[in-house]
Amino acid sequence: MAISSLLLNPYTPHLPPKPPTRLHKTTKTSTCRNSLPKTTTTNPLLKDPNHQLSRKNVLQKAYPTESSALEFDVSDEKFQELVDRRCADNLRMLILDSVQKAKAGHPGMALGMAEIGYFLYRHVLRYNPRNPKWFNRDRFVLSAGHGCLLQYVCLHLAGFQSVQVEDLKRLCKLGSRTPGHPENTVTDGIEVTTGPLGQGVANAVGLALAEAHLAARFNKPDVAVVDHRTYCIMGDGCAMEGISHEAASLAAHWKLNKLTLIYDDNSNTIDGPTDLAFTEDISLRFKALGWNTITVDDTHSNMRSFKNAVKTRIGKLSKKEGTSRAHHGVFDEDDEKQMKQKVKWDNREPFYVIPMVYREMQVQADHGEELERDWYSKLYYYQSKYPQEAVEFKSLLYDGMLPGWENSLPTWSTSDPLDATRGYSEKCLNQLAKVLPGLIGGSADLASSNKVYLHKYGDFQQPASPGGRNIRYGVREHAMAGISNGIALHGGGLIPFAATFLVKTGPTHQPIEHLVGLRAIPRLLLFRPADGNETSGAYKVAVANRDVPSVIALSRQKVAAHVEGTSADAVARGGYIVSDNSVPNLPEIILIGTGSELCLCEGSASVLRKEGRRVRVVSLVCWRLFDRQPVEYKEKVLPPGVSRRVSVEAGSPIGWREYVGPEGVVLGVEEFGASGAYLDTFKKFGFTEENVTRVAKRLLSQ
Amino acid sequence: MAISSLLLNPYTPHLPPKPPTRLHKTTKTSTCRNSLPKTTTTNPLLKDPNHQLSRKNVLQKAYPTESSALEFDVSDEKFQELVDRRCADNLRMLILDSVQKAKAGHPGMALGMAEIGYFLYRHVLRYNPRNPKWFNRDRFVLSAGHGCLLQYVCLHLAGFQSVQVEDLKRLCKLGSRTPGHPENTVTDGIEVTTGPLGQGVANAVGLALAEAHLAARFNKPDVAVVDHRTYCIMGDGCAMEGISHEAASLAAHWKLNKLTLIYDDNSNTIDGPTDLAFTEDISLRFKALGWNTITVDDTHSNMRSFKNAVKTRIGKLSKKEGTSRAHHGVFDEDDEKQMKQKVKWDNREPFYVIPMVYREMQVQADHGEELERDWYSKLYYYQSKYPQEAVEFKSLLYDGMLPGWENSLPTWSTSDPLDATRGYSEKCLNQLAKVLPGLIGGSADLASSNKVYLHKYGDFQQPASPGGRNIRYGVREHAMAGISNGIALHGGGLIPFAATFLVKTGPTHQPIEHLVGLRAIPRLLLFRPADGNETSGAYKVAVANRDVPSVIALSRQKVAAHVEGTSADAVARGGYIVSDNSVPNLPEIILIGTGSELCLCEGSASVLRKEGRRVRVVSLVCWRLFDRQPVEYKEKVLPPGVSRRVSVEAGSPIGWREYVGPEGVVLGVEEFGASGAYLDTFKKFGFTEENVTRVAKRLLSQ
């Protein structure tokens, strides 16, 4: 049943060699990182006679046979191995106690991977628990997020304040710092929120991309200010999901060789043995993508670090070990008892930690603290030798925005030539690129259609521009989104953008459900700008609100006009009056539009006004921002007394009733769209000035 | 630049041999299919001296040098090759004329793949244009749907009534039978609507699965009533998309060896050369999944059929040939002219077809007609020898529903033990499986959680149950959806179902946007049943409306009660009165709930009624069905005069205003959900009887 784990590394050995780039150099430096960090054996703590004694006692008691042959010397590898083994025992007991206390959670994977988790936090990852956000730390992503208990226990033992024993006891409880899947906004030490399988792999690729990009831009032959690694644990489920495949393909293409994927092949899924549905040769598949793959029961010298973890068995120690029944849920009393017996846990209190274990983990924490100090020294050196680069690098580290950045956004007047809003967007993006040195992104093979190319900044990871700021995602929308999240979460001032046709997020080419689907996502800001100025305004708000994602829905076709009365600044309020010929707040009718349909409202308003009607036109460019305005403002824009309202938007009508009121008319689309020239299809679905006027007149006559 | 195309076939040569199953037998039979069908040279048309002469004349004029050495004999392979070449020339000219006339479309891929398209329709695919829906036809899917012009031209030449020259002239025009991406509901001969890249691969896997399943269930050693193949053209974009990877992995796992993927490797994407973002060894990758891969510039004997098509060059003939500029858009006048010169097209009228070409294609159409007749003979034989199986098979061919099927659905009374609605669903599905012999489906590794296992029907393609009706999708939600669509479109009475946690369709584990997102999809029916009876009702409507997809959103936790007053039959109306203590249509307040929240409304209503209030409870189990009811019915359920209304649903509030009116209160969730025990989280978000009562009282006091 149990198969060995794999360690995967994008390497592309079968491709012809390329001319060496800066990135290749950093590889060589970092290859040594797979062996034990040298400092671990020189840490004074390890040489402390008291700690030595306590290790000796622990081992003699736990493994009398194995330890009888030991030297008990800090330089003895077998000594360290046995120490590691006992630490992993303790880790398993904490996992067991947590899940029994919570009566919830997924112990199977956590128990199976205990050695690997321990090993990563004890010997591999570079971090400083006293400053979890230290920029040059290694990043770790648990893509199989349901195994988060493993990470919580590691974080606890490693000394992160965010996970105390009290937190372990509240596993999966509402409001705890140990939710059922790891959340980076809740728990320091968690880099990204995971759970939906496979997405963590894309996030990890984004983190590694950010490192590679910044390293290429800022490192110098004599000093590497950006130099860390990314590790990701991927389960069977992650490996089956298409997004992990897309992301792995890109990682290899970009030669992100400081990214390590650890594949936990425990042969079980929820429904039974993995081979019910998964019989690939996964090692060969990753090789085909260009990865260097290593099976850890190999004796590969770089991998000796993982030698205690050659096999994983889901639910290790339990009677359910090796079966899908161990995937989630608590253990019965008998099982719990025999699990504790197996590791000679005697009658220890739940959540007991052998003091030796804390001290062992302390070694790696001390090491991380030392590395952070070293890094600051490097920064000082860098600053003195490369002052100009240091200014940009440090500005990126802080927030990555040059003062007055928002003034760079273009403005348009009604006499400027007309364009599609994707064209206005191109100008905005290219202006922003100059004042936001962290702006980086691309499209899923639609850069030329989406017009998102940053013309002066080259392609990321091309030989001529390893630090390029345009990312070529190929036709891989899902991975693009996951990688963008990884870039955003890396820190270092990077501001990712990603572009595709909005229809590409749906199952057909003629969908009408996107806008409302996006509006329903909490916090996300969806903009549908009507012209150049609103496009500028949308970018301004999006960049200023980097803590939430923004979607700017742009037009493919030229807009019919620059709408007089639109305003970049007003976009921040989400909705505003574009034009009105009534005495204040006494229009007979309000026409509400978004995007390319705002023009239709304006056109129709002109007709109606010529016939003596008092008409207001409102742009509702971002619902969520409008909803957040004070009632007084909202009632100024949409006065409760004006019940004749028409909304015009080429999408699902769902949700518009909130703005048009019970007597208003929603002009939307309830059927699939249609293939055809856009003016023909707009006519078919009633998106013409004439139809808006007709509907408005019908309302006015009531 | 141009690289050879690949032909891929799931084969799993590297896996240990499994005991032979029925499926293996069919493989052997069908392997011969890759050589030219024998009948093609025996068709009387080919021997007709007039046709012989016209072929000779055509070739002598078009290729004087090559044809001078020819025997001009129907059995001469070189003769046929040259005929094929001229036919492909004509095909290219039709592609050119169509795109020039429409001033739209994607000629690049169509021009590049002209030989392959021609070859498939002339020598490989088995179809009958006079009966495009013939059950035992081969299925062809153009996953790179933007290349549909290729297929339209092939369908036209092959004699499908659905694509006339007039239709080619209306390419991409609104309402035409030749839309910008192929749509199976618009054009006979198109099997599935494609366009979103990669999804066609999953659809093709679904079609092949359906064939394999039906073949395993019905074929007998002496007669195969189900025996056809599935072909799919996959572009670079398709190959990059995760869904194609998921689907390809499953196809290999299931050994669907009557499926052939043709990979069009034309080295170009919209943004430039494919290797900007795609440098995999795709042949090796498919091998790793278990496919048999063949490069067509091989001299592999099975592949000689494709020898004219060893290389594809995007936009072949054009000056833009081999570049991404050929991907879409018209050609300038000069280019058009030289393209026509290259194939000696002289000054022929646009849309000219050499009569020989129509006659050539007629050969394959005649062959298909003959095969259909043979198939009917087989059916007669089958019916006489296997009468019992024939009854089931024929019932499946017609609609796959045994009379009175709906009576099999279980009913529940208030005294029955409580369960989660997923538990009620399990009973419904297992009852339906008995009366719907075509019911087949599964889950993305959550069969045990979703409770969708058909207990008496085995796993599809397991040695013990090759015709099993449970599909193990592994953790591959996107492919599961695409494969289900393929199964549904195969015909033959199969009714696919697919299950996952609704959250798995979203990017986080705590989303609230699904329900409204699904409601916005045109035609789809979203049900949120409150208890067992509503679950039965939802299944009844879903099965009866197989022309649209249905989503039944079920609860993980036990419902709090069987709600007295719910009704399976009433589900068909989408919304109905569950309870009311007022004189008809005079409630003071209406509480509207769905799913597990309906209980809260009932509980709150009881409290309010005890305090003397007149309260109505309404279940709005399916918005779309309710919206379709006559105004009178809707106003009976939600009388316009009753403005105090509360809706209760654990999801985004968007869209509820339509039902609660301007003064009503929408109890929904606007933030991400939270990890915790469900009662705790429900309390946090206000989904308690007490909170509903509190809100209702506030409204009542106004």
Query: Cα–Cα distance between A137 and A344 in angstroms, integer?
Result: 36
Amino acid A42: pLDDT: 66
- What is each CA distance from B561 to A478, A566, B117, B384, B680, in whole angstroms? 40, 54, 59, 53, 19
- Structure ipTM: 0.92
Q: Are A517 and B517 in contact (CB under 8 A)?
A: yes
Closest in A199, A252, A522 to B672, CB measured: A522
* Structure confidence by residue, pLDDT tens digits, B116-148: 899 899 999 999 999 999 999 999 999 999 999
- Return the residue in B249, B263, B452 with the most chain A beta carbons within 10 A, the one to mutate for interface testing: B249
Amino acid found at A443: S
> Which residues fall within 8 angstroms of residue B162, CB to CB, at 6 or more apart?
B132, B155, B177, B187, B188, B189
Rg (CA), chain A: 29
Which positions of chain B have pLDDT values less than 70? Answer: 1-42, 296-311, 504-505, 507-509
Q: Which of A115, A477, A597, A602 is catalytic?
A: A477
| d(CA A336, nearest CA chain B) in Å | 23
Residue A449 with chain B: CB contacts under 8 Å: 270
Q: A22 pLDDT exceeds 90?
A: no
Q: Which residue of A has its CA nearest to B462?
A: A276
CA distance B605 to B611: 10
Tokens of A465: 């521009």
CA-nearest residue to B670 within chain A is A522
> Which residues of B are catalytic, by number?
477
Query: Does the distance separating the beta carbons of B449 and A270 come in below 8 Å?
Result: yes
pLDDT band at A20 (very low <50, low <70, confident <90, very high): very low
State the nearest Cα–Cα gap between A157 and chain B, in angstroms. Answer: 23
| Separation between Cα atoms, residue B334 and residue A680, nearest integer Å | 30
Q: What is the mean pLDDT of residues A64-76?
A: 84
CATH C-level class of B405-552: alpha beta
Mean pLDDT, residues A672-701 taken together: 94
Question: Which of B172, B196, B661 shows the shortest C-beta gap to A662?
Answer: B661
What CATH number has the domain spanning B6-13+55-371? 3.40.50.970
**Residue B282 distance to chain A (closest CA, Å):** 7
Percent of chain A's residues with pLDDT above 90: 73
**Nearest Cα residue in chain A from B655:** A655
Instruction: Give CA separation, B319 vs B96, B103, B272, B486, in Å.
Output: 13, 17, 16, 38
> Given this model, what pLDDT does residue B398 score?
83
Chosen for mutation from B509, B526, B679, B685 (greatest number of chain A CBs closer than 10 Å) is: B509
B684-690 long-range contacts (CB < 8 A, ≥24 apart) are B684/A174, B685/B650, B687/B597, B687/B600, B687/B648, B687/B650, B688/B600, B689/B600, B689/B603, B689/B604, B689/B607
CATH of A573-700, one of 3.40.50.920, 3.20.20.70, 3.40.50.720, 2.30.42.10: 3.40.50.920
Determine the residue type at B27. T
B249 vs A contacts (CB less than 8 Å):
240, 278, 280
Domain extents in chain A: 6-371, 405-552, 573-700
**Which residues sit opposite A272 in a β-bridge?**
A269
Residue that is written with structure tokens 């306590």 in the block:
A54
Confidence at residue B297, expressed as pLDDT on a 0 to 100 scale: 52
Q: Given an 8 Å threshold on Cβ–Cβ distance, is A193 in contact with B245?
A: no
Q: Which chain B residues are Cβ-neighbours of A249 within 8 angstroms? A: 240, 278, 280
> How many Å lie between the alpha carbon of A556 and the closest alpha carbon of chain B?
15
Q: Closest partner residue to B509 among A195, A289, A662, by Cβ?
A: A195
**Contact residues, chain B, for A549 at CB < 8 Å:** none
User: Which fold would CATH assign to domain B569-700?
Assistant: Rossmann fold (3.40.50)
Q: Give B534's DSSP letter.
A: H
Residues in chain A closer than 8 A to B242 (CB atoms)? 241-246, 476, 478-479
Phi, psi of B272 (to 5 degrees): 140, -160
Residue/partner pairs of A165-172 with CB below 8 Å, 24 or more apart: A165/A351, A165/A353, A168/A94, A168/A97, A168/A98, A168/A101, A168/A351, A169/A98, A169/A101, A169/A102, A169/A351, A170/A102, A171/A98, A171/A99, A171/A101, A171/A102, A171/A104, A171/A105, A172/A102, A172/A104, A172/A105, A172/B675, A172/B676, A172/B677
Look at chain A and count its residues.
702
A607 burial via Cβ count (<10 Å: 0-12, 13-18, 19+): middle
Joined tokens for residue A487: 């870039």
CA distance A293 to A287: 7
H or E element: which one contains B694?
A: helix B689-700
The whole-number pLDDT of residue B1 equals 23
* Listed residue (B340, B350, B303) closest to B169, CA to CA: B350
**Structure confidence at residue A562 as a pLDDT band (50, 70, 90):** confident
Whole-number average pLDDT of chain A: 89
The pLDDT tens digits for A637-661 are: 999 999 999 999 999 999 999 999 9
Residue identified by tokens 């978004």 is A594
User: Is residue A683 predicted with pLDDT exceeding 60?
Assistant: yes
Residue B667 in 3-state DSSP?
strand
Question: Where does residue A595 rank: exposed (0-12), middle (13-18), buried (19+ CB within 10 A)?
Answer: buried
CA B624, B629, B632: angle at the middle one, nearest 5? Answer: 140
B548 within 8 A of B523, measured Cβ to Cβ: yes
Considering only the beta carbons, identify the residue of A246, A507, A654 that sits closest to B654. Answer: A654
* Topology match between the domains B405-552 and B569-700: yes
CATH domain A6-371 topology:
Rossmann fold (3.40.50)
- How long, in residues, is chain B? 702
Number of CB pairs, chain A paired with chain B, less than 8 A apart = 290
Indicate the residue of A271, A504, A516 with minimum beta-carbon distance to B472. A271
DSSP-derived secondary structure for A242-301: HHHHHHHHHHHHTT-TTEEEEEE--SEETTEEGGGT----HHHHHHHHTEEEEETTS--G
Give residue A511's pLDDT. Answer: 79
pLDDT per position as a tens digit, A110-155: 998 898 899 899 999 999 999 999 999 999 999 999 999 999 999 9
In the 8-state DSSP scheme, what is residue B558?
B
B676/A175 touch (CB, cutoff 8 Å), yes or no: yes
- Chain A residues with CB inside 8 Å of B516's CB? 516-517, 520, 654-655
Of B277, B504, B670, the CB nearest to A253: B277
Residue of B nearest to A661 (CA): B662
Q: Specify the DSSP element, H or E, that contains B589.
A: strand B589-593
Provide CB contacts within 8 A for B497, sequence distance 6+.
B429, B439, B440, B441, B442, B452, B484
pLDDT bin (cut points 50, 70, 90) of residue A272 is confident
pLDDT score of B300: 35
Residue with tokens 């390809």: B248
- Indicate which of A280, A291, A327 best probes the interface with B, i.e. most B CBs within 10 Å of its own CB: A280
Pick from A490, A494, A606: nearest CA to A205: A490
Q: What string of DSSP letters covers A450-476?
A: HT---TTS-BEEETTEEE-SEEE--S-
**Residues in A touching B657 (Cβ below 8 Å):** 655, 657-658
pLDDT at A395 over 70: yes
Residue in B236, B521, B662 nearest the CB of A662:
B662
List of chain A residues whose C-beta atoms are within 8 Å of the C-beta of residue B652: 520
With residue A393 as reference, give the H or E element that holds it. helix A387-398
User: Which of B654, B679, B683 would you mutate first to test chain A, the one with the most A CBs within 10 A?
Assistant: B654
Q: Residue type at B135? A: F
Distance from CA of A308 to the nearest CA of B (A): 28
B433-470 pLDDT per residue, tens = 999 999 999 999 999 999 999 999 999 998 888 899 99
| pLDDT score of B310 | 52
Helix (H) or strand (E) segment spanning residue B293: strand B291-295
Q: State the sign of the Cα–Cα–Cα–Cα dihedral A134, A135, A136, A142.
A: positive
